[in-house]
Amino acid sequence: MRAVYILCARQLKRYVRSPSRIVGSLGQPLVFLLALGFGLGPIFAKAGGGNYFNFVTPGIVAMGIMFTAVFSGIEIIWDRQFGFLKETLIAPVSRLQIVLGRVLGGAIVAFLQGVAVFILCLIIGYRIGNWLLLPVAVIFMFLISLLFTSIGTAIGSVLKDMQGFPLVMNFLVMPLFFFSDALYPMNGVPKLLEAALRINPVTYGVDGLRGALGHVFAFSIVTDLAVLIILSAILLGIGSYLFSKIQL
């Protein structure tokens, strides 16, 4: 498993050595948090929904995680173009270890990005409802990271140029985010939208994170954990298969 450790460490070094990447990744969540959290907060309160800032913060944290995680797939395309991927694939280690190293490294980076967004939310004014469940919230953050890093790995293994990756963001990641319960509660939405919310994995990640931070679960902690774990395992398997089929 030495190869897994080396690839994880490489991902982390890339992250730590790029402060502009860290700061830049905070920009979009911060804009959403300020524009929605404070902009729609009074309307949400008048409608009897309570504190919208506290409601939307778990969704914004999840957004920071999933965008960073999916973008880890770009590194596969980058390494393919500049020859590092070839050097990695001809190494005397299995491709499964290579995938595990890349996915775990990308998931840890996305998790750290989520922690940074969460700390920023705390500074701005978010309040945790139940500190005892904070370790559970950390588990949900890592599972969201693992799930979307696996998706990014699968996509990066199929695409051969970076021009196609923004299309993936616009037609896959953005709809997954907006058609989840990250920005609005499930209660009272149209039936068609409710069905979309229920089949969306982001819904279960945000719901688990929101509930673990001391607010209300729309489903249950067992359901949220089960969905994320099962989907992460399936997508990791798909990503591993597609990565093993890469031809240089």
* 228-242 pLDDT, tens digit each: 999 999 998 898 888
pLDDT average, residue stretch 101-116: 88
Report the C-alpha gap between 140 and 223 in whole angstroms: 12
Per-residue pLDDT band at 21 (split at 50, 70, 90): low
Residue 17 has pLDDT above 70, yes or no: no
pLDDT given at position 140: 95
Residue 119 has pLDDT above 80, yes or no: yes
Give me the residue label for tokens 């058609």: 179
Per-residue pLDDT band at 45 (split at 50, 70, 90): low
**Is the pTM value of this prediction over 0.95?**
no
pLDDT given at position 49: 61
Report the C-alpha gap between 109 and 59 in whole angstroms: 18
Classified as helix, coil or strand, 5 is helix
pLDDT given at position 137: 93
pLDDT given at position 155: 85
Q: Measured between alpha carbons, how far is residue 98 from residues 64, 83, 158, 177 in Å?
A: 25, 15, 16, 29
pLDDT average, residue stretch 207-220: 87
> If you average pLDDT over every residue of the chain, what do you get?
82
Highest mean pLDDT among 78-92, 120-134, 161-175: 120-134
pLDDT given at position 100: 84
Which residue range(s) make up the domain with 7? Answer: 2-244
Report the C-alpha gap between 57 and 55 in whole angstroms: 6
Per-residue pLDDT band at 48 (split at 50, 70, 90): low
Q: DSSP character for 55?
A: H
pLDDT given at position 39: 72
Residue 167 has pLDDT above 70, yes or no: yes
Domain total in the chain: 1
Higher pLDDT, 122 or 49: 122
- What are the tens digits of pLDDT across the range 137-156? 999 999 999 999 998 888 88
Report the C-alpha gap between 145 and 104 in whole angstroms: 9
Residue 44 has pLDDT above 90, yes or no: no
Element (H, E) at 207: helix 201-212
Report the C-alpha gap between 187 and 63 in whole angstroms: 21
